[in-house]
């Protein structure tokens, strides 16, 4: 008996639907279940590790071949690992670190920064990962105007002394405030500590403030500066400032909480400097 057009239609519909279902099932196997009209689903990529920026500043942070090490780095890396947070180190100049975190466009961090009031307005900070020893003044050994025991206020007020100041750096609350209030004669520079030593040696400035940990590196017995420079301990300089991991606000606060928990579990061994 010939099949009528109506019967042919009802036979064709199930066959058509089965065929479509097979095609869709094949697409699902090939491209995944997350399909939208007119777009092929992209494969899911693993989350990128959190990038934490550092710069060469011995003995706090430095590259040694493929390894990044230093007094502050070791404490931070241990806390990150104990907190189960994947991360990678990346070198970047300090001013660029600050600029990148200030934009808050990328989830990233930077190591060893002081938590100043200005920075707290745009960045997140962990608890303390290291505390510096009190700052000292590094100067030429033949400079008679800087002597041990002098008041830091008297030194900053001396119009015949030029202070060398590093750009984008904080020297801690007390020194930052004194420099703002007293406005010492000064020269600013973006260079590292070793270059600052050379600037003082060339007479472009008389002294700069540095943590004793760094001074010991700069004036090591095998360094050219060993016999030409020395450090001067000044009265009125408080205990060294605390260093932290600084993160952009694009980083989840839960990450900061996990890191702080790890730091608290490691205390007090994670804190350097004076007790």
Q: How buried is 117 (Cβ within 10 angstroms: 0-12 exposed, 13-18 middle, 19+ buried)? A: exposed
Host H or E run for residue 108: strand 108-113
pLDDT recorded at residue 93: 93
Identical topology for domains 50-132+241-266 and 136-232: yes
Please measure the distance between the N-terminal and C-terminal CA atoms of the chain and give it in whole angstroms: 102
Checking if the pLDDT of 25 tops 50, the result is no
pTM greater than 0.75: no
- Asked if residue 53 lies in contact with residue 90, where contact means CB atoms within 8 angstroms, the answer is yes
* pLDDT tens, residue by residue, 54-64: 999 889 999 99
pLDDT recorded at residue 10: 40
Q: Which phi and psi (to 5°) does residue 157 adopt?
A: -85, -10
Q: Give the distance, in angstroms, between the CA of residue 233 and the centroid of all CA atoms in the same chain.
A: 28
* pLDDT tens, residue by residue, 71-81: 999 999 999 99
Q: How buried is 188 (Cβ within 10 angstroms: 0-12 exposed, 13-18 middle, 19+ buried)? A: exposed
Sheet of strand 186-189: strand arrangement: 186-189, 163-166, 207-210, 136-140, 229-232
The CATH architecture of the domain made up of 136-232 is 3-Layer(aba) Sandwich (3.40)
What residue has token string 């600037």? 199
Checking if the pLDDT of 6 tops 60, the result is no
How far, in Å, CA of 86 to CA of 248, rounded?
Answer: 17
* pLDDT tens, residue by residue, 179-207: 999 999 999 999 999 999 999 999 999 99
Percentage of residues in the chain with pLDDT exceeding 70?
79
Q: Look at 72 and 275; give whichever has higher pLDDT.
A: 72
Average pLDDT along the chain: 84
Each domain of the chain, given as residue ranges in start order, spans 50-132+241-266, 136-232
Extract the tokens encoding 260.
């702080």
Q: Where are the alpha helices (DSSP H) in 171-245?
A: 173-182, 193-201, 212-218
pLDDT recorded at residue 239: 86
In 141-248, at which residue ranges do the beta strands (DSSP E only) sit?
Answer: 163-166, 186-189, 207-210, 229-232, 242-248
The CATH architecture of the domain made up of 50-132+241-266 is 3-Layer(aba) Sandwich (3.40)
* pLDDT tens, residue by residue, 9-21: 344 444 443 344 4
3-class state of residue 176 by DSSP: helix
């Amino acid at each position: 008996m010939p099949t009528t057009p109506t019967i042919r239609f009802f036979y064709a519909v199930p066959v058509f639907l089965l065929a479509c279902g097979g095609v869709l099932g094949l697409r699902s196997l090939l491209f995944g279940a997350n399909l939208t009209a007119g777009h092929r689903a992209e494969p899911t990529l693993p989350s990128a590790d959190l990038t934490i920026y550092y710069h060469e500043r011995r003995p706090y942070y430095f590259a040694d071949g493929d390894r990044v090490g230093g007094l502050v780095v070791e404490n931070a890396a241990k806390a990150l690992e104990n907190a189960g947070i994947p991360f990678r180190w990346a070198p970047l100049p300090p001013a660029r670190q600050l600029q990148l975190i200030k934009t808050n466009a990328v989830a990233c961090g930077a190591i060893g920064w002081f938590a100043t009031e200005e920075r707290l307005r745009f960045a997140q900070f962990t608890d303390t990962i290291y505390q510096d020893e009190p700052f000292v003044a590094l100067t030429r050994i033949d400079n008679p105007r800087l002597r041990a025991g002098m008041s830091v206020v008297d030194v900053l007020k001396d119009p015949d002394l030029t202070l060398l100041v590093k750009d984008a750096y904080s020297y801690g609350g007390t020194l930052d405030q004194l420099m703002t209030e007293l406005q010492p004669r000064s020269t600013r520079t973006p260079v590292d500590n070793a270059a600052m030593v050379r600037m003082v040696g060339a007479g472009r400035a008389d002294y700069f403030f540095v943590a004793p940990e760094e001074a010991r590196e700069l004036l090591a017995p095998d360094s050219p500066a060993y016999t030409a420079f020395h450090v001067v301990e000044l009265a009125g300089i408080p205990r060294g400032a605390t260093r932290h991991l600084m993160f952009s606000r694009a980083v989840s606060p839960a990450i900061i909480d996990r890191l702080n928990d790890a730091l608290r579990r490691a205390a007090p061994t994670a804190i350097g400097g004076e007790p």
